[in-house]
Structure 1
Amino acid sequence: MPKKRSGGGLTGTQQAAKFLGISVLSGAVLAGIALPAFGALGLAAKGTVKGFDEIPANLKTPPLSQRTTILDSKGGLIATVYSRDRTVVPLKEISPHMQKAIIAIEDSRFYEHGAVDLKGVLRALNKNATSGGVTQGASTLTQQYVKNVFVEEAGDDPDKVAQATQQTLGRKIQELKYAIQVEEELGKKKILENYLNITFFGQKAYGVEAAAQRYFSKPAKDLQVEEAAMLAGLVQSPSRYDPVNDIEEATKRRNIVLQRMADVRDISPEEAERAKATPIKLNVSEPKNGCITATNGAGFFCDYVRKSFTSDPVFGKTKEERAKIWYRGGLTVKTTLDPQAQKSAQRSIKKHVYKSDKVATAVTIVQPGSGKILGMGQSRPYGYGKNETEINYSVDKKLGGSNFGFPVGSTFKPFVAAAALEQGRPVTQVYPAPYKMSYPDSISTCNGTWRNDGGDVLENENEKEVGPYPLKKAMEMSVNTYFVQMIEDIGICPVVEMTDKLRVFQGNGDKLPVEPSALTLGSDGISPLTMASAYATFANRGTYCSPTAIQSIRTADGRSLPVPKSTCEKVMSEQTADTINTLLGGVIDSGTGQSAGLTSRDNAGKTGTTDERRNAWFVGYTPNLSGAVWVGSPTQQVKMTNITIGDVYHSKVFGGQVPGPIWRDAMNGALEGWDAPTFNKVSIPDPPKPEETPDGDGEDNGGGDGNEGRPDDGKPGDGRPGDNGGGGNEPWPGISVPSGQTGGGDNRGGDNGGGDGSGD
């Protein structure tokens, strides 16, 4: 048995083993590894370590996590995001004082020894033996660098970090082996550069450049000797010597570093004393990390960019792979966000809806023809405090939005009209459109028949809204019963096909329910971005372009990454799109959207209000831009009656009343300085008025006054049913009307319908 020695009764070999944190078997050598310092001491591995034949390529030049910079379309900064605040710089951009300070305090013989410092180990062993414990280490800068690489690759996963720092035989041997090979591959200068860029300096600052900015608000190349000494002193224990929280401890540690620099003759004793006498003068810069720091209210857009990156296979096969690239950082992401449009949207939001209001608003602006998202904001800021949220009300759930989006109400009606026009219905199409009616008993679908088993009824907003109406008037007045009769006429399938081509889906990604309330009156949740993009198709004369937020991405080493492009597809004829543009222009000129109208340029749009006024919308566009505005309670719990929004009282909120002016003001500012192209409008003739006809008396061709249930007077007729139906077969001469709906009747009465001449 070996004799007991000083240092806790351990032999020199055992002390070396304890120092290294490993177990030993006397007389063996480390299998397959040339370790000059420890082979002589007779260290042996208890067990085996695999995988030492090849050094990992990323150990020599590890992909260090850095800041990612997100820019708007003009190159302006939106935000910087990072998992670790780091800016990698070359050695020539690091102060010589900093280089000398870190070597002096961490590894003063760095340029003299190899990967393992035998003298340092022996010195540590002697010190530890004298003190009776393990008080001094002997890791070289190279060994520390290797350990830091393992920690860096572990990321923020606590289990992986623990594995990377565990004091096991395998880990120690692995570090030593890699340190030897790194010395051979990189050389001293590159190792020092990598070390200074990877090391943690406290206060969320990784690498010396971030640390210099954090503590002194200056680049690392401008560090003075006393500043460099303070930073070098942090490496041993960033929390203990943190100057922000304990200036006294930080000063003591800095002075130790300065003395060590004098001892190794990096500075003179006089320089050291002068530096020691200089108080630490911090100029702290708070780290600005994440989308919460985004300018011009673009936090939600910033987060949308992040989620778009991590969800798009173009950036990596798996979500984990994409997330690793994003959080490694070092990217410069140029986005589509237009600073003028974004500022205008936020200015309008703040003017009309307050952060503290019971309801919120979201505004999204896209460019027809390109799909570029130019603006995205909302009244409740991006954040975690009161009346703040991380939920992006403008987008679908998978990209940060609410669960289902928000019911869109009558802003859905243009999709029905477009489907009908594509089916060959004339723009002068007339339907009876009574004030109140039951949903049709049945409506054909793509795969069968929808049936009104519950006997559901619907009504118009106003009791005076009584047909018959042509399409133009029905769109301007947003007549519910008209569009339900339209979908009964054409069937549900053409509307489903149209909305599928326009990518109009629920906020959770599901297709819309196959029922008339969803596919006519917008009863289901859809996101503002989806609506703005769909309406942009009308402005783009029938070509849909998918929304996109990223223009280009450049990596830290200057490489360009492929980015997803907007895909454009013709989904309706130019004639149909031009007709919708004309119809929706009428909504602004003389319909429910008059308060949203822009001056001096063509514009079109549609209002929408849902049941119990829980949601109000305006979606509108010019040939240049398309924008959607939603107002409501994110939880759908607030009925917008007798409510104050932005210091303005409203007995009832309408789509044209609150969302409309928000859209108007946002678009006015966004379009300032833009050209003002015009739509290709179509001519929509007024339906000819019928000749005067005596009141029906119930004879075979009776009908009488059913012909007078015109939208211009809305008066019911008093014709009595006859064999061929009250109201006649031609309520407005020359205008086609589906059979069974002639004369504005409700299909009661005569053998061929037409009804009681009531004009319903």
Structure 2
Amino acid sequence: MGNTRSSGGLSTAQQAAKFLGVSALAGAVMAGLALPAVGALGLAAKGTVEEFDGIPANLKTPPLSQRTTILDAKGGEIAKVYSRDRTIVKLNDISSYMRQAIVAIEDARFYEHGAIDLKGVLRAVNSNAQDGGVSQGASTLTQQYVKNVFVEEAGNDKEKVAQATRQSIGRKIKELKYAIKVEKELGKKRILENYLNITFFGQQAYGIEAASQRYFSKSAKDLKLEQAALLAGLVQSPSRYDPINAPESAKARRDTVLRRMAEVKDITPAQAAAAQKKPLGLKVSMPRSGCITAVKGAGFFCDYVRETLLNDPTFGKTAEARAKRWTQGGLTIRTTLDPQAQESVQKSIKKHVYQSDPVATAVTLVEPGTGKVLGMGQSRPYGFGENETQINLSADKSMGGSNYGFQVGSTFKPITAAAAIEQGKKPYQRYSSPYKMKYPSPVTTCKGTWSNDEGATVENENEKEVGPYGMKEATAKSVNTYFVQLISDIGVCPVTQMADKMGAKRADGQEHNQVPSVTLGSEGFSPLTMANAYATFANRGVYCSPVFIESITGPGGKKLKVPQSKCSRAMSQKTADTINTLLRGVVEDGTGKQAGLQSRPSAGKTGTTDERRAAWFVGYTPNMAGAVWVGGPGAKGVKMENITIGGVPHDKVYGADTPGPIWKDAMSGALDGKEAPNFVNVQIKDPNQRKPHDRKKPGDHKPGRDRGNDNGGNGGQDNPWPDISLPPDLIGGGNGNGGNGNGNGGWNFPR
């Protein structure tokens, strides 16, 4: 092909010469050599002076992606996470052998030419003309640096990476213009430093520091001659010369670099010969990246930190901006994870639930008053193997958790009790609480009324649970019918509003169902949510949103803004203190006795769902709250009857006998050595409570007869115990006529 002509009457070769700023004589030489197939290579489209001038002069250099280090609250490392393993170092912290080796093999005239090496260009043009394409580059280190910037900016977008590395004259011209600008602005030393920090050396190692650590387990400043030559040789083709998988090719390439260093007089021929005789001497440190490598069983805690950075607007207004910040890395993230608490969580899980069990457990500990998450673990580890998972069983769906969370059973009842007390109900409020009953109807909700059109019923755990009960006894025994009567009395809306105030949002992000059964824990929540909700009781009514991050230091030591816990009052101090008193009774002489802590005051609540597909214990002390869930991790769950968990057989699993001991052991270890503050106790005494010998029993009254009086007044009474609320279907009608006490109507109370 001849000298293709374009605008202005200049051949494409002459235009290229003009673009490069070379002399007319050089342009003539280049024109004589000719560039074949320029149209196919893109120069026809990109090769005008106007197009060249239209390329922006300033090269946008994105921050280099680096590894991020995640630490616990004491500064211990949890995990290293990176999109590209890179640690940026200064030129003075790179071995002089490495600096010499990379220049010798990649651009021996680096310190002599400008952005463009004319001799190299002429050599490449001639070679390409003979081959009929672009077979040989003439890239200086500066040009290579510019290309790597394009690659870095492309990130993980394969199409953009292909564009940044495509062998076309159009891309080359763009690369050349930026190289000219970079030479003027940065200078040789800075360009070399940047180049060594951005370049890919294979085996997931970006930059010389990561490469030195990967292949020799040492810092770049300590590289010996033969080691530096090996790494310099990798740049041309990291896969072909990979010393791990292709040691012979790597050694041959290393020796080529050593010879070249001797040719340019960086070292003597004797030094080169001596270095060539040495073995590769690898001391490989394989990359460990991501939350899967987290220590202390903190893989899911680590993953929650990642989700926080990807979802919280504090780290960027858009999802794209937040993802870019995470990918760029270079962060040191100090978290709230307490190493003592985390160790205790893991020990308790390992003791009580095996990884191979048909069910799993998840445990979360939080600090009341600060929202700090102190520990998080589960029996199914973070991973991709058998009985491993990437689902954080402690978290909501939006933060990497299960789709629906897990029904919480009776652990929701204290929220109903708190709402009722806030509505003016007394903690000694009594209800008939039969063993089995229909849901009362209609019931007020946030959206109108709910009616039991289908005649749905509710019953207690066993037939012996028959009221009447007051709130304290009903809470301790977890009486279902009591709490259904309670929510039906005050309405559903105050209860779901209280749940929201306590941060008890559904795991799937949907609104609460406006039905009375919510009081029985029919909706799905996460262990983190339940632990933090109960922390509101421990904090005497003030809810604080959960936080995982204490501080973040960015590249260059810059402190970044992090999310702060937001605290708000959910209920009065008196209400919270009353609930604390009620829930102390659960662990002292109620369903949660197996979970009670011996050395300090504690409170909590058990929970078991229909068909025992989930079992819970959620409890707290004044300075720590924790939730434990046990159940099938899948969508359908596992019916926990005639089952062995952690080597212990169970006819039926209860919240007290499996989650309770897990909670007790996890909390005991986490609190060991810490202060043991007390709750503010509230006296719960029914002023209308009759003494046992004064209280009439249902059998003492006969239907159709009641007390009269001698003066002939009204003697009948629908309900002989006015302090007990009875459902309408249990109450007969009629007022007794006076005189001798003959009465009409009476009442029908279950015997």
TM-score by length of 2: 0.91
Q: Distance in 2 between matches of 1:531 and 1:449?
A: 28
SS in 2 for 1:58: coil
Equivalent residue, structure 2, for 1:347:
347
Equivalent residue, structure 2, for 1:535:
534
Change (3 A) 1:416 1:99: same
Q: Distance in 2 between matches of 1:646 and 1:257?
A: 60
Report the AA paired with residue 535 of structure 1. Answer: Y
Report the AA paired with residue 588 of structure 1. Answer: V
Change (3 A) 1:450 1:123: same
Deviation at 1:755, TM superposition (A): 3.8
Equivalent residue, structure 2, for 1:575:
574
SS in 1 for 2:667: helix
Report the AA paired with residue 617 of structure 1. Answer: W
Q: Distance in 2 between matches of 1:148 and 1:453?
A: 69
- When structure 1 is superposed on structure 2, of 528-537 and 126-135 the one drifting more is 126-135
Matched-pair contact (CA < 8 Å) for 1:52–1:177 = no
Q: Does 1:515 align with 2:530?
A: no
Report the AA paired with residue 402 of structure 1. Answer: S
Equivalent residue, structure 1, for 2:489:
489
Matched-pair contact (CA < 8 Å) for 2:68–2:333 = yes
The within-5 A match list for 1:430-441 is: 430-441=430-441
Equivalent residue, structure 1, for 2:656:
656
Equivalent residue, structure 1, for 2:558:
559
Q: Distance in 2 between matches of 1:399 and 1:351?
A: 28
User: Which of 747, 750, 757 is 2:730 aligned to?
Assistant: 747
Change (3 A) 1:259 1:426: same
Equivalent residue, structure 2, for 1:47:
45
Equivalent residue, structure 2, for 1:29:
15
SS in 2 for 1:288: coil
Q: Distance in 1 between matches of 2:13 and 2:395?
A: 68
Q: Distance in 2 between matches of 1:606 and 1:222?
A: 59
Say what the alpha-carbon RMSD is for the aligned residues. 2.2
Report the AA paired with residue 532 of structure 1. Answer: A
Q: Distance in 2 between matches of 1:256 and 1:754?
A: 109
Report the AA paired with residue 724 of structure 2. Answer: V
Equivalent residue, structure 1, for 2:214:
214
Matched-pair contact (CA < 8 Å) for 1:487–1:516 = yes
Equivalent residue, structure 2, for 1:7:
none
Q: Distance in 1 between matches of 2:519 and 2:704?
A: 38
User: Which of 734, 737, 740 is 2:724 aligned to?
Assistant: 737
Equivalent residue, structure 1, for 2:294:
294
Q: Distance in 1 between matches of 2:13 and 2:55?
A: 24
Change (3 A) 1:317 1:51: farther
Q: Distance in 1 between matches of 2:570 and 2:470?
A: 25
TM-score by length of 1: 0.90
Q: Distance in 2 between matches of 1:700 and 1:449?
A: 37
Deviation at 1:600, TM superposition (A): 1.6
Change (3 A) 1:455 1:550: same
Q: Does 1:477 align with 2:477?
A: yes
Change (3 A) 1:675 1:50: farther
Q: Distance in 2 between matches of 1:255 and 1:199?
A: 21
Equivalent residue, structure 1, for 2:117:
117
SS in 2 for 1:47: helix
Q: Does 1:505 align with 2:492?
A: no
SS in 1 for 2:345: helix
Deviation at 1:634, TM superposition (A): 1.3
Unaligned segments of structure 1, at least 5 residues: 1-9, 18-23, 704-721, 731-735
Q: Distance in 1 between matches of 2:574 and 2:494?
A: 17
Change (3 A) 1:478 1:408: same
Equivalent residue, structure 2, for 1:404:
404
Report the AA paired with residue 47 of structure 1. Answer: A
Matched-pair contact (CA < 8 Å) for 1:728–1:754 = no
For each residue in 1:235-292, what CA deviation from the matched residue of structure 2 results, as whole angstroms up to 9, or x when unmatched? 0000010010011111111000000001111110000001000011110001010000
Deviation at 1:698, TM superposition (A): 2.9
The within-5 A match list for 1:84-103 is: 84-103=84-103
SS in 1 for 2:103: helix
Equivalent residue, structure 2, for 1:4:
none
Change (3 A) 1:467 1:231: same
Q: Distance in 2 between matches of 1:702 and 1:360?
A: 59
Matched-pair contact (CA < 8 Å) for 1:25–1:46 = no
Q: Distance in 2 between matches of 1:620 and 1:298?
A: 22
Report the AA paired with residue 701 of structure 2. Answer: G
Change (3 A) 1:169 1:754: farther
Equivalent residue, structure 1, for 2:586:
587
For each residue in 1:185-223, what CA deviation from the matched residue of structure 2 results, as whole angstroms up to 9, or x when unmatched? 000000000000000000000000000000000000000
Matched-pair contact (CA < 8 Å) for 2:614–2:637 = no
Change (3 A) 1:51 1:292: farther
Q: Distance in 2 between matches of 1:394 and 1:237?
A: 45
Q: Distance in 2 between matches of 1:180 and 1:39?
A: 18
Unaligned segments of structure 2, at least 5 residues: 709-714, 736-744
Matched-pair contact (CA < 8 Å) for 1:365–1:626 = yes
- When structure 1 is superposed on structure 2, of 323-332 and 492-501 the one drifting more is 492-501
Q: Distance in 2 between matches of 1:407 and 1:115?
A: 66
Equivalent residue, structure 2, for 1:701:
706
Deviation at 1:167, TM superposition (A): 2.8
Report the AA paired with residue 610 of structure 1. Answer: T
Q: Distance in 1 between matches of 2:377 and 2:649?
A: 23
Matched-pair contact (CA < 8 Å) for 1:416–1:495 = yes
Change (3 A) 1:52 1:350: farther
Change (3 A) 1:437 1:184: same
The within-5 A match list for 1:92-171 is: 92-126=92-126, 136-171=136-171
SS in 1 for 2:420: helix
SS in 1 for 2:363: strand
Name the count of aligned residue pairs: 710
Deviation at 1:461, TM superposition (A): 0.5
Q: Does 1:58 align with 2:60?
A: yes
Q: Distance in 1 between matches of 2:598 and 2:171?
A: 72
Q: Distance in 1 between matches of 2:138 and 2:702?
A: 113
Change (3 A) 1:51 1:577: farther
Matched-pair contact (CA < 8 Å) for 2:537–2:577 = yes
Q: Percent identity?
A: 62
SS in 1 for 2:458: strand
Q: Distance in 2 between matches of 1:27 and 1:197?
A: 34
Deviation at 1:462, TM superposition (A): 1.1
Report the AA paired with residue 724 of structure 1. Answer: Q
Q: Distance in 2 between matches of 1:692 and 1:126?
A: 113
Q: Distance in 1 between matches of 2:695 and 2:266?
A: 110
Q: Distance in 1 between matches of 2:132 and 2:252?
A: 26
Matched-pair contact (CA < 8 Å) for 2:365–2:624 = yes
Q: Distance in 2 between matches of 1:655 and 1:30?
A: 78
SS in 2 for 1:46: helix
The within-5 A match list for 1:329-728 is: 329-517=329-517, 519-635=518-634, 636-685=636-685, 687-689=689-691, 691-693=694-696, 695-701=700-706, 724-725=717-718, 728=720
Q: Distance in 1 between matches of 2:130 and 2:443?
A: 94
Q: Distance in 1 between matches of 2:549 and 2:104?
A: 46
Report the AA paired with residue 318 of structure 2. Answer: T
SS in 2 for 1:296: coil
Matched-pair contact (CA < 8 Å) for 1:701–1:728 = no
Matched-pair contact (CA < 8 Å) for 2:731–2:749 = no
Q: Distance in 1 between matches of 2:705 and 2:716?
A: 4
Q: Does 1:756 align with 2:741?
A: no
- When structure 1 is superposed on structure 2, of 164-173 and 651-660 the one drifting more is 164-173
Q: Distance in 2 between matches of 1:50 and 1:595?
A: 79
Matched-pair contact (CA < 8 Å) for 1:143–1:175 = yes
Report the AA paired with residue 46 of structure 1. Answer: A
Report the AA paired with residue 596 of structure 2. Answer: G
Q: Distance in 2 between matches of 1:34 and 1:426?
A: 88
Change (3 A) 1:52 1:224: farther
Report the AA paired with residue 326 of structure 1. Answer: W
Matched-pair contact (CA < 8 Å) for 1:234–1:241 = yes
Q: Does 1:277 align with 2:277?
A: yes
Q: Distance in 2 between matches of 1:337 and 1:57?
A: 41
